[in-house]
């Protein structure tokens, strides 16, 4: 009963956090979609000219994705830390918020490099399959190039959405965790905000579960301080909408 009362008490604040995240998601989604759309044209031209996947500028894709993600998410980090500090009345001074941002962004830059490498490898595998299947069936370079372009027409939207959702929710959850810890909060509560039919049952089962700050949630067998905790595997973070509330 007390847990439900706590969740209801913060209902308006939870809604504001979700709205803030949606705005940040839109910013990153548009930026990443543009990168993929531009890359589709580059990949098409490369295949048409050389018929070799190694001619596709993969390093350019990695660098552009990393640059775009950081250009959006570093300001989001700074803005969100101040946002939750004010929204939740944590009372941290600007110097404390700045220290949190500096530490988080330094680590996040390294994490983005790893994440982008995984994204690029996944895209490369997808294109490799298209080329291999095309060659096996006797398609011309132009036909294969068009298939790649058509694939990215869909991929650029779906993949950009997954990347943007995961990055924004990961950053905002971990930044909030750091701010709450610095503010001396003693309890955190998992809030399952829902993602329709794709909701993970073990995330839904954690809804409104509260733990002490020195404890961890059991997320499908993994220990986690909060949704999108760094200790969680990517399978528990991709497109996860959950958040935490602190007291």
Mutual angle of helices 141-182 and 94-136, in 10-degree steps = 160
pLDDT value at 34 more than 70: yes
The stretch 184-194 carries a mean pLDDT of 92
Q: Which residues are CB-neighbours of 103 under 8 A, at least 6 positions away?
A: 178
103 pLDDT higher than 90: yes
> Alpha helix locations (H) across the chain?
2-9, 11-50, 58-87, 94-136, 141-182, 201-204
Query: Per residue in 192-216, pLDDT tens?
Result: 987 555 788 899 999 999 999 999 9
Instruction: State pTM to two decimals.
Output: 0.86
- Contact indicator for 137, 32 with CB cutoff of 8 Å: no
Is a pLDDT exceeding 50 seen at residue 2?
no
For the chain, give the percent of residues with pLDDT over 90: 55
Residue 3 is predicted with a pLDDT of 46
Lowest-pLDDT range of 18-22, 58-62, 234-238:
58-62
If you average pLDDT over every residue of the chain, what do you get? Answer: 86
């Amino acid at each position: 009963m007390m847990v439900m009362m706590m969740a209801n008490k913060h209902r308006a604040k939870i809604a504001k956090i979700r709205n803030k995240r949606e705005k940040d998601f839109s910013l990153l989604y548009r930026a990443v979609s543009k990168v993929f759309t531009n890359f589709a044209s580059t990949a098409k031209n490369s295949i048409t000219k050389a018929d070799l996947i190694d001619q596709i500028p993969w390093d350019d894709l990695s660098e552009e994705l990393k640059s775009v993600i950081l250009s959006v998410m570093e300001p989001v980090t700074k803005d969100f830390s101040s946002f939750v500090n004010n929204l939740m009345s944590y009372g941290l001074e600007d110097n404390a918020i700045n220290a949190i941002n500096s530490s988080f962004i330094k680590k996040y830059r390294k994490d983005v490099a790893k994440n982008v490498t995984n994204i690029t490898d996944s895209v490369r595998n997808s294109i490799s399959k298209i080329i291999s299947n095309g060659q096996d069936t006797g398609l011309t370079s132009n036909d294969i190039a068009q298939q790649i372009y058509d694939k990215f027409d869909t991929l650029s939207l779906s993949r950009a959405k997954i990347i943007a959702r995961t990055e924004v929710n990961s950053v905002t959850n971990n930044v909030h965790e750091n701010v709450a810890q610095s503010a001396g909060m003693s309890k955190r509560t998992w809030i399952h905000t829902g993602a329709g039919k794709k909701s993970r049952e073990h995330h839904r089962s954690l809804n409104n579960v509260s733990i002490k700050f020195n404890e961890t949630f059991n997320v499908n067998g993994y220990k986690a301080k909060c949704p999108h905790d760094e200790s969680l595997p990517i399978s528990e973070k991709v497109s996860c909408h959950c958040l935490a509330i602190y007291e």
